[in-house]
Amino acid sequence: MTPEDRLEKLEEALEEHLEDFADCHRQRAPGELTLTVPREQLIPVMRVLRETRDLAFEQCIDVCGVDYAAYGESEWVTTAAANAGFGRGAVRDTPEADPKNRFAAVYHLLSMTQNVRLRVKTFLDADRPIVDSVVDIWASALWYEREAFDLFGIMFQGHPDLRRILTDYGFIGHPFRKDFPLIGQVEMRYDPEQQRVIYEPVSIEPRTLVPRVIRQDSRYEAGWKPQASTEEAE
């Protein structure tokens, strides 16, 4: 059975066993399948995915967060980079986002029995990104959910030990959010007088980095047009 055949079989099983969850939506792409689930139905759907024999997703191999603020918009425009520079180091306006769908919790599930993977996604509010924890279903999600909380600020209700896992306990904010300043909120250093690590306001000044131009590039000059090759001219 090919991978696409297994995905086809999985899609048929999902349609059969999730018929009571009409608000769930499937999205098929080459080599992958995504199931979007409303936040209120996440735990019942996850139990079906774990306990149903035709599905049998025994493992949760990852839980990650997504911030969809300014999704599809690019601030990395390189057309005038040689003259204007990049503004990645400067403080930017907070990107606008759909308040109902700004954040998402994404679960990557593996069925060793069926030899197939599934991505499950649920959208969360911007003001209250709260979703039920799946630790009772997959114990491996304990550290994954802590990471999503640490980096994105997603709260997993019912998690037995929801605390930071990558940043320091005194860290302010969630660094993977689109509105988090690139220079950070605070900086830390060791104070020999107090004999401990202390936190201070960030001393780095926001700035725009302009790359040094080594050679002139006529492509950035106004009115430049590509010249036809000798063969095309003949």
Residue-number span of the structural domain to which 161 is assigned:
3-71+99-167
Cβ atoms of 122 and 37 within 8 Å: the answer is: yes
The residues with which 197 forms a beta bridge, in sequence order, are 190
Q: Average model confidence (pLDDT) for the chain?
A: 83
- pLDDT band of 183, cuts 50, 70, 90: confident
pLDDT score, position 187? 82
Tell me the mean pLDDT in the region 134-154. Answer: 96
pLDDT score, position 209? 61
CATH number of residue 20's parent domain: 3.30.460.80
- Residue 150: CB partners within 8 Å, gap ≥ 6? 164, 165, 166, 167, 174
- Strands 116-124 and 32-36, by their bridges, are parallel
Query: pTM of the predicted model, to two decimals?
Result: 0.76
In a domain, 176, yes or no: no
In a domain, 90, yes or no: no
The residues with which 63 forms a beta bridge, in sequence order, are 107
Q: Choose the weakest-confidence range: 44-53, 88-97, 200-209, 221-230.
A: 88-97
In a domain, 67, yes or no: yes
CA distance linking residue 142 with residue 163, whole number of Å: 11
In a domain, 152, yes or no: yes
In a domain, 59, yes or no: yes
In terms of C-beta density within 10 A (0-12 exposed, 13-18 middle, 19 or more buried), how is residue 116 classed? buried
pLDDT exceeds 80 at position 231: no
Tell me the mean pLDDT in the region 125-129. Answer: 90
Report how many domains make up the chain.
1
Q: Choose the weakest-confidence range: 72-81, 83-92, 185-194, 222-231.
A: 83-92
pLDDT score, position 184? 79
Higher pLDDT, 75 or 176: 176
The strand ranges marked E within 112-195 are 116-124, 130-132, 155-157, 186-191
- pLDDT band of 223, cuts 50, 70, 90: low
In a domain, 193, yes or no: no
In a domain, 223, yes or no: no
Quick one: tokens of 116?
Answer: 């197939």
In a domain, 206, yes or no: no
Tell me the mean pLDDT in the region 75-103. Answer: 56
Q: Which of 71-75, 86-90, 91-95, 187-191 has the highest mean pLDDT?
A: 187-191
CA distance linking residue 121 with residue 138, whole number of Å: 16
Cβ atoms of 126 and 97 within 8 Å: the answer is: yes
pLDDT score, position 140? 95
Higher pLDDT, 212 or 43: 43
